[in-house]
Amino acid sequence: MKNKLINYLDLGRSDYKLTWIRQEELLNRIVEIKRTNSNLSEIDSPKTPNYLIFVEHPHVYTLGKSGDEHNLLLNYIQLQAKEATFFKTDRGGDITYHGPGQLVGYPIIDLENFGIGLRQYIYYIEETIIRTLATLGIVAMRDPNATGVWIDVGTAAARKICAIGVKSSRYVTMHGFAFNINTNLDYFNYINPCGISDRGVTSVEKELGSNQDLEFIKEIVRSKFAEVFGATIN
C-alpha cells in the first residue's frame, strides 16, 4: 500500500547546516525502512513516511556537487562582510543563494509512494510553484533549457523566481526548492545563479511591487503541493 500522507514541518528560521542534518536523519530513517522491507512481504512491510519541511535560512550560498566554485564571486572575507556562509552540498545543480524572505522547501519523500521518478518529481515541484504564482496573479513557466520556475522565458527579460536542486537515495528525496518571496535580491549579485550569468532573478515582492505575507504564501504552496502530488499534508 502506497503512503500519500506527507508530514509537514515548519522550522521557521534555521541554520542551513542544522537543517541539512535534519534532512539526512529523515532520509536515512526512510531508507532504512525500505531496506528492511526488501526482506518482507508486501503485507508485512510498514509504510514509508514522507515529510515536507519549510524553512528560511540566514544568508548562505550553497554549491551543488557538479557546480563550479568560480560562480561564487566573493572571497571568504567578503562573505563575512555580507554576514553570509558557504557550503558545498550533495544536491544537483550549481550555486544558489538562501536567505531571509525566501521560502525554502525540502520534501523528503519516497517517490515510490507516488509512482514517479526523479524527472517527474522535479516537474511536479515546478508545477507546484507555477500554480502558486498563478494564484498570486503572476504568469510563470518552465524553461526547456534550465530547471526551475521562470518568468518571461524566451525574452531578454527572462528571470528566475524559484531554483530547484535535489538528491535522491533509493528513490527517497532531499534538498528541494528555493522560492523568492521577499528575498533581498542584491545577494544574487555575488554569484552566477545556478551557473547562469546572462539572466536575472526576481521575487514575488518585486513582481507585485509590495512586501508579501510569507505565511499566506506558505499555505498556498502547501495546498498546491498536495494538489499536484495527489497527497494529504498533515
Question: Which residues participate in catalysis according to the annotation?
Answer: 194
Burial class (CB in 10 A: 0-12, 13-18, 19+), 156: exposed
CA dist 109 and 90 (Å) reads 17
Joined together, the cell numbers standing for residue 181 give 518571496
Residue 125 sits at the vertex; the CA angle it makes with 123 and 126, to the nearest 5 degrees, is: 65
What distances in angstroms separate CA 189 from CA 71, 72, 128, 185, one per listed residue? 11, 10, 27, 7
What distances in angstroms separate CA 216 from CA 97, 124, 221, 222, one per listed residue? 23, 21, 9, 10
